[in-house]
Amino acid sequence: MDEKIEMRNLDPERRSHTFEEVALGYNEEEALKEANRCLQCQNPRCVKGCPVNIEIPRFIKAIREHNLEEAYQIILESSSLPAICGRVCPQEKQCEKMCIKGFKGDAIAIGSLERYVADYAFDHELNAAQQKPKTGKRVAIVGSGPSGLTCAGELLKEGVDVTIYESLHKAGGVLTYGIPEFRLPKKIVESEVNHLKKMGANILLNAVIGKTITLEELENTYDAVYLATGAGLPKFLGIPNENANGVFSANEVLTRINLMGSYEEDAKTPIKKGKKALVVGGGNVAMDAARSLKRIGYDVSIVYRRTMEELPARKMEIEHAKEEGIIFDLLKNPKEVIIDDNYNVKGLKVALMELTDVDESGRRGVKEIPGQTEDIDCDTIVVALGTMPNPIATENSDIVTDEKGLITAPESVTNNPHVYAGGDAVTGAATVILAMEAGKKAASHILSDLGLS
Amino acid sequence: MYKILKNEPIGEKIFLLEVEAPLVVKNCLPGQFVIVMAKEDSERIPLTIYDYDRETSILSMIYQVVGASTLELSKTENELFSVAGPLGKPSEVVTDIEKYRGKRIVMIGGGVGIAPVYPQAKYFTAHGLEVDIIYGAKNKELLIILDKLKSVCQNLTVVTDDGSSGKQGLVTDALKEKHDYDLCIVMGSTVMMKFVCALTKELNIKTIASMNPIMVDGTGMCGACRLLVNNEVKFACVDGPEFDGHLVDFDAAMKRMNLYKDEEGRRYLKALEGDTHSGHCGNCGDE
């Protein structure tokens, strides 16, 4: 039988109280076995499925030949953050979906192999990507999330000087404050950031562009500016009592836990440790928040207004959440936060919903069943209904944004020809790999506009 | 890292912190705040700016030790791990100063809330506006920066709860005595601002309140600092910190301040008692 080698996972019972990484990665034997399954297609479909077009068969061939240094360099030609992509990319919707082997059986576990190579590179301190001689051009990148880091990596390879401005005290953006340790260990993010520093990236922390330094000041100092400010503003419910104590944005919960380490024994930043949490929403962020709260001791339910079929989160995250004991409370829509006399949350009133026909988005619609509500007991409510771009960098500038606050940047460039933008700040909240793709695209536009390609 | 030039007590549990922070100082304006971290694993503490000097790049802040994090800050020497800012919007009087020319302005500071009164009063005076200051504190030991305040206002009225300095009474008592103002700017504890705003509403004096709720990032990312202003959700960190005091829901704001009281109290006791902390007294909730 030609079954794919699954990555080993930490035991679900154990992981529901630890922040250790869930997926354990391949050992050498497993990686070789999986690499040997690859058909080495002449016209590889997988490469087309990859937003940054990594030459997948080539790096897999190098693994087979025990040449991991070569495999790493092949990946670096196209991707600046392989250890991260290997972990958080939705490969099942991209490269692995296109894999010819997937049509009759299991696709090659490309993501797992990528992760194997990247982790090997960090463990063995392999060389950074090859760099061209310095060009004398300087680019400022606003935001050190996946889009900013990728753009930085691409520009550094071409000999451009890069300074990354980060508003928080740690680099990584959503990779640091958002995605939890058990899915993406922070030491991996640090390794990727250090890799860029080795290539010469200058990273300025605590620099809130629009406040500490204005966008105009950057424009005047650099040959180009890339805005990769992400989508960091949380949405709230817009229902009564949502300012009560115990209602949090998923961003706040995740920031306290991931960035500030409040899950640790002696943490100096507190997090509320209650008994029962409801996480409202069904995306990856909702799963991250739910699984994080579970690990600090909460009983957790996901409250989602449609059914399991429509949950937008990655399948793997939903499976992991279920294994860890997260309850899915479906077809329920929040109507009102129920509070006690001290303004503390004691429950959530929800409307019961039913599915309707498929709407224009291809999803089944949903509507409230008239007069049917339920009060769910809880002491904590976490809102994970998506995020919007943060306007701080652009609000006092000439950069045009649309009515949703998204920066308008067709072909990576804004209305100001020296200012480029990409990632969630342009598209709205999406995935790490799409942000990376945007960073890569912007880098290629910048290089060509600066006459470097 | 940010070089600490001064971190010393200037009153009971009140500290003056001066750091070199060229980037913050370059663009900051009165009304804005910063977020500091003593060490890499410290809590992010929002502090309003007390003073700044564009020549020397020195940023000054005043804080009171109220919990484990400010206690840690007070013991930090040589370098601060991080200073992020300036954050929040400058005071609307600063950005729109011509509108306030010729207006009678009173600034009210309670406790360490007097610290951010100073840079605004200094700015207004330097730009030809006339300001009175009312300063309320519990007692004489807690009064700070009196000479500095005198140098930037027409009249400084000090009131203390126990009458140990100035008149005995509350800031609202002082305001009742003299209230021929067009604008009141109030900074201090939430409860004090609530009562001042209730009074100025009665007296029909436009009032700006500088809110100081719990924050984490200070850039609009987490929503911990959200307030109800005119029944709308606002984030103090990016929409404020200053709001129309007659529209702020102070009761809700005060209740939100209590969210981490238990955890903070426990950490503070542990930090104060150090290794002698046994957890057996039952006061801190530890087992």
- Whether residue A221 lies within 8 A of chain B, CB to CB, comes out as no
C-beta atoms of A211 and B27 within 8 A: yes
Rounded to an integer, the average pLDDT of A175-183 is 94
Kindly report the nearest CA distance between residue A243 and chain B, in angstroms.
7
Q: Cβ of A341 under 8 Å from any chain B Cβ?
A: no
- The 10s digit of each residue's pLDDT in A283-293 is 999 999 999 99
Instruction: For residues B192 and B170, give the distance between their C-alpha atoms in angstroms, rounded to a whole number.
Output: 9
pLDDT in the model for residue B286: 40
Kindly list the residues from chain A whose CB atom is less than 8 angstroms away from the CB atom of residue B47.
Answer: none
What's the mean pLDDT in A148-163? 96
Judged by a CB distance cut-off of 8 A, whether residue B84 touches chain A is yes
Higher pLDDT residue, A377 or A364?
A377
Q: What is the mean pLDDT of residues A103-113?
A: 93
Q: What values do phi and psi take at A435, rounded to 5?
A: -65, -40
Q: Do B85 and A249 touch (CB under 8 A)?
A: no
Average pLDDT (B17-25) is 97
Rg (CA), chain A: 22
Which of A243, A270, A343 is the closest to B263 by Cβ?
A270
What is the per-residue pLDDT across A299-342, written as a single tens digit (0 to 9) for each?
A: 999 999 999 988 999 888 999 999 999 999 999 999 999 999 98
Domain ranges of chain A: 12-124, 138-232+388-449, 236-383
pLDDT mean across residues, chain B: 91
Average predicted confidence (pLDDT) for chain A = 93
- Closest chain B residue to A387, measured at CA: B221
Cα dihedral A383, A384, A388, A390, rounded to 10, equals: 70
Q: How do residues A92-101 score in pLDDT, each as one tens digit? A: 889 999 999 9
Beta carbons within 10 angstroms of residue A376's beta carbon:
17
Q: How confident is the model at residue B285 (pLDDT cuts 50, 70, 90)?
A: very low
DSSP per-residue string spanning A313-345? S-HHHHHHHHHTT-EEEESEEEEEEEE-TTSBE
Lowest mean pLDDT among A261-275, A407-421, B141-155: A261-275
- Residues of chain A neighbouring B263 (CB-CB closer than 8 A): 270, 272
Spatial contact of B142 and B11, defined as CB atoms under 8 Å apart: yes
pLDDT in tens, B105-152: 999 999 999 999 999 999 999 999 999 999 999 999 999 999 999 999
User: How close is the nearest chain A Cα to the Cα of B255, in Å?
Assistant: 7
Least Cα distance to B142 among B28, B65, B56 occurs for B65
A339-362 residue pLDDT tens: 999 899 999 999 999 998 887 777
Q: Chain A contact for B260, CB < 8 A?
A: yes
Residue B4 has pLDDT above 80, yes or no: yes
Chain A hits for B41, Cβ within 8 Å: 261, 267-268
**Starting from the edge strand earliest in sequence, which strands make up the sheet with B82-87, in order?**
B79-80, B2-11, B14-20, B58-64, B45-53, B33-37, B82-87
In Å, how far are A55, A392, B71, B127, B186 from B96, measured between CA atoms?
A: 57, 20, 37, 12, 18
Nearest chain B Cα distance for residue A252, angstroms: 4
Of B85, B216, B226, which has the smallest distance from its Cβ to A256's Cβ? Answer: B216
Contact B84 A168 (CB under 8 A): yes
Does the pLDDT of residue A383 top 70, yes or no? Answer: yes
Find chain A residues with C-beta within 8 A of B76's C-beta: none
> Does B233 touch chain A if contact means CB atoms closer than 8 Å?
yes
Q: Which CATH superfamily is domain A12-124 in?
A: Alpha-helical ferredoxin (1.10.1060.10)
| pLDDT beyond 80 at A22 | yes
At A104, phi and psi to the nearest 5? -115, -15
Q: What's the whole-number mean pLDDT along residues A447-453?
A: 93
Tokens (6 digits) for A146: 């996946």
Q: What would you report as the CA-atom Rg of chain B, rounded to the nearest whole angstrom?
A: 19
At residue B273, the pLDDT reads: 63
Tell me which residue of A185, A44, A160, A159 sits closest to A110, measured CA to CA: A44
Shortest Cα distance from B256 to chain A (angstroms)?
Answer: 6
CB contact under 8 A, B233 and A177: no
Measured between beta carbons, the chain A residues lying within 8 angstroms of B31 are none
CB contacts of A251 in chain B (<8 Å) are 221-223
User: What is the pLDDT averaged over residues B170-186?
Assistant: 93
- Give the distance from residue B23's alpha carbon to the nearest chain A alpha carbon, in angstroms: 6
CATH superfamily of A138-232+388-449: FAD/NAD(P)-binding domain (3.50.50.60)
Check for a shared fold between A12-124 and A236-383: no
Strands A364-377 and A345-358, by their bridges, are antiparallel
Q: Write the residue in B41, B82, B217 that is nearest to A205 by C-beta.
A: B82
pLDDT band at B283 (very low <50, low <70, confident <90, very high): very low
User: How many angstroms separate the CA of residue B221 from the nearest CA in chain A?
Assistant: 5
Scan for tokens 């700040």, then name that residue: A425
Judge: B82–A248 Cβ closer than 8 Å, yes or no. Answer: no
Helix (H) or strand (E) holding A180: none
Q: What is the pLDDT of residue B274?
A: 59
pLDDT of residue B258: 81
Instruction: Spell out which residues of chain A touch residue B220, defining contact as CB-CB under 8 Å.
Output: 232-233, 390, 392
Residues of A in contact with B40 (CB under 8 A): 169
Percent of chain A surpassing pLDDT 90? 80
Task: Tell which A residues from 120 to 159 touch B, by Cβ distance under 8 Å.
Answer: none
Contacts B233 to A, Cβ<8 Å: 236, 242-243
pLDDT for the residue numbered A1: 55
Q: Which of A56-65, A314-323, B213-222 has the highest mean pLDDT?
A: A56-65
CATH of domain A236-383: 3.50.50.60
Q: Which of B27, B47, B217, B259 should we substitute to test contact with A (largest number of A Cβ atoms within 10 Å)?
A: B217
Contact residues, chain B, for A249 at CB < 8 Å: 222-223
**Nearest one of B195, B179, B204, B205 to B248, comparing CA atoms:** B195
Say what the pLDDT of residue A126 is.
Answer: 83
